Amino acid sequence: MTALGTLMAGSVPTGQGVGEWSSVEGFYCGGPLDWNLNFTAGDMPWHLDATSYAPATDTTTGTLTGLSLHAVGSAATADFDGPGGPGSGTGSVTFSYDNATHQLTLTGGNMEAYNVHGAIIGLLNDGDPVDFGTTMPVTPAQTIRPDGVTG
């Protein structure tokens, strides 16, 4: 997955926006049928909000909100969003950002599958919860910590 956007570096108030993604594209190849799916994002930008900071691990956590995705493959299509339905932009996932390694990890959330068609029916069905867990590097490297915390 490739995400482009802005990320606020330095000292940020907890609960505040630390950045936004202005475009997201991805490709997935795998699964039991060796799926080839191209993902495109809708309802941009997506927003990153910090909710906590762990000094022992120098990690900032929060939520990425506004998610909405459409997937197209050679034999299947599907939409992914939150409880508001396809195209609603109500999807969200949890993120953690490691200030030492500059890795952003996405986990959990409230994403569901909608409008599932084609060869993946039965393996993925409308209403199934979906976890878009992934870890990706942030470049250029950033440091995100709450106000008053230094490295």
Confidence at residue 97, expressed as pLDDT on a 0 to 100 scale? 92
Instruction: State pTM to two decimals.
Output: 0.84
Report the 10 Å Cβ neighbour count for 79: 20
**Does residue 95 have a pLDDT over 60?**
yes
Read off the pLDDT of residues 6-60 as tens digits, 9 standing for 90 and up.
Answer: 777 666 666 667 888 777 766 565 566 666 778 888 888 899 888 888 999 999 9
Q: Which residue has the higher pLDDT, 69 or 3?
A: 69
Confidence at residue 139, expressed as pLDDT on a 0 to 100 scale? 83
**Domains of the chain, residue spans:** 2-146
Spatial distance between the Cα atoms of 138 and 41, rounded to a whole number of angstroms: 19
DSSP-based three-state secondary structure for 140: coil
* Torsion angle in degrees (nearest 10) through CA of 16, 24, 43, 83: -80
- Of 45, 43, 56, 63, nearest to 104 (Cα)? 63
